[in-house]
Amino acid sequence: MTKKVKDRFIKSIAITIFILVSIAMVIKFQGALFLRMYVMFGIGDCAKIPILCMTPGERVISESFDQQEPEDFISHIFSDMSIRVPRGFTVVEREIKRVYYKKNKHIGKGAIIYLLYRPPGSFMSLYPQLKDSGVYSDYEFFRRLMFADERKIKSINDAFFVIMKGIFTPDLGDQTKVQMAALNLEEISGFINYNIGGKENYFDCNIFDSQGNYFKIYIRDTKAVLDLDKVLAIISTASAN
């Protein structure tokens, strides 16, 4: 190999290494940006869907509410779960469908409570690959989901939970006024997103009982008659059949 050929070979190797290093740097430092852009174009940014950049605050709702069940509560028994709620609300048990979470002309316009039940392990059985990233329970699945922040996407898993957050969040009115909090009662734990103080109140409760049963209780309080304590009393009555 002549010196000229050798120099050309070394130069080609150097250029190849430089290109590979450059690609690696782009993937490392710009990959997160590409993921964020993908999610933003796919489901919307934080300006359009503020809750994608909101997480539960430091407040943890615990045993500070009046657990005495109001007299106007009545029982509703479905195939998978039972619950007691105030009079004046239509109560509907639904499956996981788009109509459940999004505005639709077929959904009632009045005061309504939507219920969703899933037995222990349901979400982990749907997404077993999440165990590779340290998610071993349905509760941890929802904890990651609630703390997902579109601005902090750095990996495929981060993007996944932000997308799921958008899917699992129902209509909460003006999202800029939504409060998110962790929930830790004696027999129930989980998360509650709520918007109160306006003409209508909204409550989105994702809770687990001590056996790991999951309940989603979404309340659209069109007459603004419920406060947080009464909603906590409602969800404390939820049970699997």
| DSSP for residue 69 | P
Is 198 in contact with 43 (CB distance < 8 Å)?
A: no
By C-alpha distance, which of 49, 59, 58 is closest to 150?
49
Spell out, as residue ranges, where the chain has pLDDT lower than 70: 1-31, 58-60, 62-70, 95-109
pLDDT at 237: 92
pLDDT at 31: 66
Q: Which of left, alpha, beta for 60 (phi over 0: left; psi -120 to 50: alpha)?
A: beta
Please write the tens of the pLDDT for every residue from 175-187.
999 999 998 888 8
Q: At what angle do helices 3-43 and 156-168 cross, to 10 degrees?
A: 10
pLDDT at 26: 46
Q: pTM, whole model, 2 decimals?
A: 0.80
pLDDT at 23: 45
Assigned token pair, 128: 């077993």
Q: What is the 3-state secondary structure (H, E, C) of 76-104?
A: EECCCEEEEEECCCEEEECCCCHHHHCCC
